């Protein structure tokens, strides 16, 4: 029965052999075994929710990047590359690297020194209950919503590609995550994410390696793309962004720099607790900072296994992929199938199982990230302050374990809800992004400007969130509004997102500053350990140069600049 589900129906794009099936099953056995093995090490709140704050830089860093590398991220960006070309690579470079390095060098000391359990926890210390509650509730709701949407999307893809039963995919994958997170908390999630990191890379790297051999290297690939899509530029990152119409995405460089590189990127990488939680679990501040830099390095390399397969699909597939809304046509393959099709093209039995395991591992690492972040925020930022203040530590651990299971069940419910209202996916993703963007303005002003007041923290955050909602609704009701929101009626979804993020951040910052000027700030002694200038940072001078985070951050920054110049 299980084999019948796994091996797929006759309509599946790919068919798995018995050796592929063994590889997939072994993976499930190991992640569950790891979870139960680690259960004995997670008895206190600090151990369950923060992995005992004992992670090395490498484990924290690989987990940090793995939690972000979900299956939707992998398949979605490969699909977007097929649609928009190498421009999508900005999500990995300017849309990530500066923000991650900023998190490491500037923000991590404050997160780490104040010993908070979460980003909303930092807002509580800095601004008080109002800002914490707003961020915690919006984060918890959005995390669960996104988790369910990711789950459903993954199940749909597995059904289309492998013929797996949609309910089977949802229940088996998510219950596996629930069990290992429930057993070992963040520790289990982090250990599994490191394992998943290896599987994702080794499983997906087959495609670019064999693909480049087939096309005769980069030059051969570019030549084939130009032959297949004459007159379209898919291979330049900056040179086509001087106008809105010069590139497939319909975006101007200002949108990429200020919307993507500043608003979305800094919002996500510096304040989304899903990723920040991983490095907050490091054993000391230097490990937290180094782990973040290690994450930045691997983030910079992810285009190898995501963007390059999308470009190779443009070069070698004998047919053109189509948008999702045309996926029902006979023999039509959609953009989302780009990466699975490339896996099928090159992967023989065994390797195909490894590739599918990589996709499943990606989904599970992303979902575990959502579940552990939700569990921590729910327990420490909602349940503890509002429902049961003074319980024993063991009570909160127990709440965390059950909350992991509950979070997964609610996510499954969301997945079924989405199944009936599939257009929610598009809307919810946009809304999710913009819940986080204004948080960056609130956090960074709180960290760097001691004059920022508790009232400003709350009202700035609320104004940013409402702005993002209002702009989104405006464009939905009146499509002509796109020319005001995104400066061009040619802007595609992704371009619209980056400009909306920019507006949301601007409103957040303006309101926060304005309210600060008219309200009373906290006294300085209450801001120690939370704000720049009032926080004592441990000097790094006694460490050799090659062990300092700043050294490796500089090396990553140089690599970032070189890559942008190389693919200009």
Binding characters for other proteins, 137-176, by CB under 8 A (x = yes): ----------------------------------------
| 30 interacts with other proteins by CB under 8 A | yes
CA dihedral sign of residues 138, 267, 547, 301: positive
Q: Which of 64, 191, 297, 374 binds other proteins (CB under 8 A)?
A: 191
CB of 191 to other proteins, least distance (A): 5
Q: Tell which residue, 99, 102, 85, 101, has the closest CA to residue 238.
A: 85
53 near 283, Cβ under 8 Å? yes
Q: Which of 5, 7, 13, 19 binds other proteins (CB under 8 A)?
A: 19
| 27 interacts with other proteins by CB under 8 A | yes
| 69 interacts with other proteins by CB under 8 A | no
For 335, 490, 530, the CA distances from 484, given in Å and listed in that order, are: 29, 12, 38
- Restricted to residues 317-356, the positions that interact with other proteins (CB under 8 A) are 344-351, 354
469 near 431, Cβ under 8 Å? yes
CB of 200 to other proteins, least distance (A): 12
**Interatomic CA distance for residues 133 and 258, integer angstroms:** 28
| 56 interacts with other proteins by CB under 8 A | yes
| Dihedral Cα 447, 449, 453, 458, nearest 10 deg | -50
Q: Tell which residue, 443, 540, 433, 456, has the closest CA to residue 103.
A: 443
Q: Which of 5, 28, 37, 532 binds other proteins (CB under 8 A)?
A: 37
Within 10 A of 501 (CB to CB), how many other CB atoms are there? 31
Q: Distance from first CA to last CA of the chain, Å, rounded?
A: 52
Q: Which of 16, 23, 274, 553 binds other proteins (CB under 8 A)?
A: 23
Q: Considering the complex, state which of residue 4 and residue 26 has its C-beta at the smaller distance from other proteins.
A: 26
Instruction: Assign 334 to helix, strand or coil.
Output: strand
Span of 47-55, 105-113, 135-143, 376-384 interacting with other proteins by CB under 8 A? 47-55
CA dihedral sign of residues 171, 374, 302, 227: positive
* Residue the block writes with tokens 């093995």: 37
Two structure tokens written together for 169 = 């995919």
| 3 interacts with other proteins by CB under 8 A | no
Q: Considering the complex, state which of residue 17 and residue 535 has its C-beta at the smaller distance from other proteins.
A: 17
| 540 interacts with other proteins by CB under 8 A | no
Q: Considering the complex, state which of residue 198 and residue 427 has its C-beta at the smaller distance from other proteins.
A: 198
| 195 interacts with other proteins by CB under 8 A | yes
Binding characters for other proteins, 243-282, by CB under 8 A (x = yes): ----------------------------------------
Q: Where are the alpha helices (DSSP H) in 449-548?
A: 454-477, 482-485, 493-518
Q: Which of 5, 41, 416, 474 binds other proteins (CB under 8 A)?
A: 41
Task: Please report, as ranges, the residues that interact with other proteins according to CB under 8 A.
Answer: 17, 19, 22-23, 26-27, 30, 34, 37-38, 41, 52, 54-56, 59, 191, 194-195, 198-199, 202, 206, 209-210, 213-214, 283, 316, 344-351, 354
């Amino acid at each position: 029965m299980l084999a019948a589900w796994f091996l797929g129906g006759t309509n599946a794009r790919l068919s798995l052999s018995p050796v592929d099936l063994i590889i997939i099953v072994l993976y499930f056995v190991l992640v569950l075994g790891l979870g139960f093995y680690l259960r004995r090490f997670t008895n206190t709140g600090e151990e369950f929710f923060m992995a005992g704050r004992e992670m090395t830089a490498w484990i924290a860093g690989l987990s940090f990047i793995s939690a972000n590398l979900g299956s939707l991220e992998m398949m979605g960006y490969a699909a977007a590359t097929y649609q928009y070309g190498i421009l999508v690579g900005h999500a990995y470079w300017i849309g990530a690297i500066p923000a991650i390095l900023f998190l490491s060098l500037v923000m991590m000391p404050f997160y780490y020194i104040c010993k908070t359990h979460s980003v909303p926890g930092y807002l509580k210390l800095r601004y008080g209950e109002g800002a914490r509650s707003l961020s915690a509730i919006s984060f918890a709701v959005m995390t669960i919503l996104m988790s369910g949407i990711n789950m459903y999307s993954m199940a749909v893809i597995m059904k289309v590609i492998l013929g797996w039963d949609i309910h089977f995919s949802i229940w088996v994958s998510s219950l596996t995550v629930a069990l290992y997170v429930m057993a070992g908390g963040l520790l289990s999630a982090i250990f599994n994410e490191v394992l998943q990191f290896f599987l994702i890379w080794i499983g997906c790297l087959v495609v670019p390696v064999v693909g480049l051999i087939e096309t005769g290297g980069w030059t051969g690939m570019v030549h084939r793309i130009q032959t297949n899509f004459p007159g379209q530029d898919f291979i330049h990152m900056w040179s086509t962004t001087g106008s809105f119409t010069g590139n497939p995405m319909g975006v101007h460089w200002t949108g990429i720099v200020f919307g993507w590189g500043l608003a979305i990127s800094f919002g996500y990488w510096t304040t989304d607790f899903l990723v920040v939680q991983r490095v907050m679990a490091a054993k000391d501040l230097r490990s937290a900072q180094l782990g973040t830099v290690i994450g930045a390095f691997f983030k910079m390399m992810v285009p190898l296994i995501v963007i390059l397969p999308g470009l190779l699909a443009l070069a070698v597939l004998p047919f053109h992929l189509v948008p999702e809304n045309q996926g029902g046509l006979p023999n039509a393959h959609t953009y989302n199938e780009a990466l699975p099709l490339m896996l099928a093209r090159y992967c023989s039995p065994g390797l195909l199982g490894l590739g599918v395991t990589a996709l499943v591992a990606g989904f599970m690492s992303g979902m575990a990230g959502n579940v552990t972040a939700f569990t921590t925020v729910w327990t420490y930022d909602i349940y503890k302050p509002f429902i049961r203040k003074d319980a024993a530590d063991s009570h909160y651990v127990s709440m965390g374990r059950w909350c992991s299971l509950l979070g997964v069940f609610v996510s499954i419910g969301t997945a079924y809800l989405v199944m009936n209202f599939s257009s929610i996916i598009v809307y919810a993703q946009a809304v999710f992004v913009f819940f986080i963007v204004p948080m960056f303005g609130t956090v960074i002003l709180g960290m760097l400007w001691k004059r920022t007041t508790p009232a400003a923290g709350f009202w700035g955050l609320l104004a940013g969130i409402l702005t993002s909602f209002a702009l989104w609704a405006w464009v939905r009701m009146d499509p002509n509004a796109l020319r005001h929101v995104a400066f061009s009626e040619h802007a595609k979804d992704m371009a619209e997102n980056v400009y909306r993020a920019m507006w949301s951040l601007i409103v957040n910052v303006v309101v926060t500053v304005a309210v600060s000027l008219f309200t009373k700030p906290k006294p300085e002694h209450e801001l120690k350990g939370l704000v720049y200038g009032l926080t004592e940072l441990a000097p790094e001078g006694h460490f050799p140069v090659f062990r300092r985070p700043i050294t490796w951050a500089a090396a990553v920054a140089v690599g970032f600049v070189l890559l942008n110049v190389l693919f200009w």
